Amino acid sequence: MCTWAVTGSGALLAEGLHSAADVANQLLLKQGVIRSRRKPTREHQYGFHKEKYVYALISAACVFCVGCGASVLHGVSSLVNPHVLENMSYSLAVLAGSSVLEAYSLRVAFQAIQRSAEEQGMGLWQYIKRGRDPTTVAILWEDGGAVAGLGLAGGFTLLTWITGQQHWDALGSIAVGVLMGGIALQLMRTNKRFLIGQAMEPAVERSIVQHLHNDNMVVKVIDPKSEEIGDGVFRFKAEIQWSGEHVVQKYLSELRRESLYRQLRAAACTLDLPQQTAEDAIDIAMVKFGMGIIRTVGSEIDRIEGELKQLVPGLKYVDLETDKGSAALSPLGSVDLGPDFEVASLRSLYDKLGAAAAQNATSAAEGSGSNASGGGSSPPTTA
């Protein structure tokens, strides 16, 4: 800016504004990164990951308004009202020195982008378009724009010095302003994409869905959705149709079948009591069974969520919901019990259990009687 005050070069003014906008942009991006690292609160339960994109969007808007607007306006004003330029050699020297510094900064940003792209298994251009961290991409765009802007400013300044025509300097100011406007629009589009929300990479989402399908507890995965809520931080939800047979088998293996059978026998033994008492006992047995199934489904959800988070390290929030449709039934569980399966059906079960118990008692009695008769026929012992 000091050199512009000495020379009056519009192209140099545009680059000065460009540099000032870059500095302000870096400060805004740093502030956004700091604020995005705050812990979740009651009002913002998923955290503040997206706040950095808000600051980056503000930064891009400032570049567009201040850098692009002021440079183009000054260039147009210089075309309409040209003025004498002085000490153009100073301008060229400052632009050359700035180009060296900006080129080094661009090299550092490029290397950082390459490392990030390799870590995510993406190509360089793919990372620039769909990378997880728009902050580093913004720095690359700014440094690249700075090098290109210095080249434009230097070229138009050299033309002005050689030809002595001031309109070249004005055109250089306009060209740098247009370049800054293009970069600002690109940064706006990038940050808008993250603010609106985008799904995780299709290949990653497919691997999650495939892992769910491979689990024997899952019959069908319905309406899977994902969203990137921060740099490499994802949220995934899906509705799950559970395998009823496998869930029940899991519950029985943990409960032990004998315990369930005791509950059913206890309920069946009340059938000779008044109807209300019998129904209450049956309800209690069924409620206990249902609560056990619910606990089993909950534990399976926790297990699967843990496996998915190990599969995708950036997967921080997993929401698996039970599908509201009918549960998947195996041939063993596909029998229609019908509307009459109430006390009468349970009474039939009780009769069968009673008959089995009576048969066991008869067998035990016969065995005991044979042992007793055998003991009575033994010859007496002679003293």
Q: Pinpoint the alpha helices (H) of 81-123.
A: 88-119
* Mean pLDDT, rounded, for 342-350: 49
Residue pair 230/96 in contact by the 8 Å Cβ criterion: no
CA-CA distance, 238 to 223, in Å (whole number)? 6
Domain boundaries defined on the chain? 2-196, 202-358
Instruction: Indicate whether this model's pTM tops 0.85.
Output: no
Highest mean pLDDT among 218-232, 278-292, 367-381: 218-232
CA-CA distance, 22 to 147, in Å (whole number)? 12
The CATH code that applies to domain 202-358 is 3.30.70.1350
Would you say the CATH fold of 202-358 matches that of 2-196? no
pLDDT of residue 287: 76
pLDDT of residue 333: 42
* Mean pLDDT, rounded, for 53-65: 84
Give the C-alpha distances (Å, rounded to integers) separating 162 from 8, 24, 26, 208. Answer: 17, 34, 36, 64
Rg from Cα positions in the chain: 39
pLDDT of residue 76: 85
pLDDT of residue 164: 79
**Per-residue 3-state assignment (H helix, E strand, C coil) for 266-334:** HHHCCCCCCHHHHHHHHHHHHHHHHHHHHHHHHHHHHHHHHHHHHHCCCEEEEEEEECCCCCECCHHHC
* Mean pLDDT, rounded, for 195-218: 90
Residue pair 54/237 in contact by the 8 Å Cβ criterion: no
What confidence category does residue 8 fall into, taking pLDDT thresholds of 50, 70 and 90?
low
Give the C-alpha distances (Å, rounded to integers) separating 161 from 1, 90, 307, 374. Answer: 19, 11, 67, 132
Least confident of 155-159, 264-268, 299-303: 264-268
pLDDT in tens, 68-102: 887 788 788 878 887 666 666 777 777 788 888 88
SS3 208: helix
* Mean pLDDT, rounded, for 31-52: 85
Q: Which residues contact 295 (CB under 8 A, 6 or more apart)?
A: 251
SS3 37: coil
Task: Name the residue type at position 198.
Answer: Q
pLDDT in tens, 124-156: 887 877 766 777 787 888 788 888 888 888 888
Least confident of 110-114, 157-161, 374-378: 374-378
* Mean pLDDT, rounded, for 246-273: 68
pLDDT of residue 221: 93
* Mean pLDDT, rounded, for 43-58: 85
What confidence category does residue 334 fall into, taking pLDDT thresholds of 50, 70 and 90?
very low
* Mean pLDDT, rounded, for 39-53: 84
Least confident of 25-29, 177-181, 282-286: 282-286
Q: Within a 10 A sphere around the Cβ of 287, how many other Cβ atoms? A: 10
* Mean pLDDT, rounded, for 193-203: 84
Evaluate if residue 307 carries a pLDDT over 90.
yes
pLDDT of residue 214: 94
pLDDT of residue 259: 66
Mean pLDDT estimate for the chain: 76
CATH topology of domain 2-196: Alpha-lytic protease prodomain-like (1.20.1510)
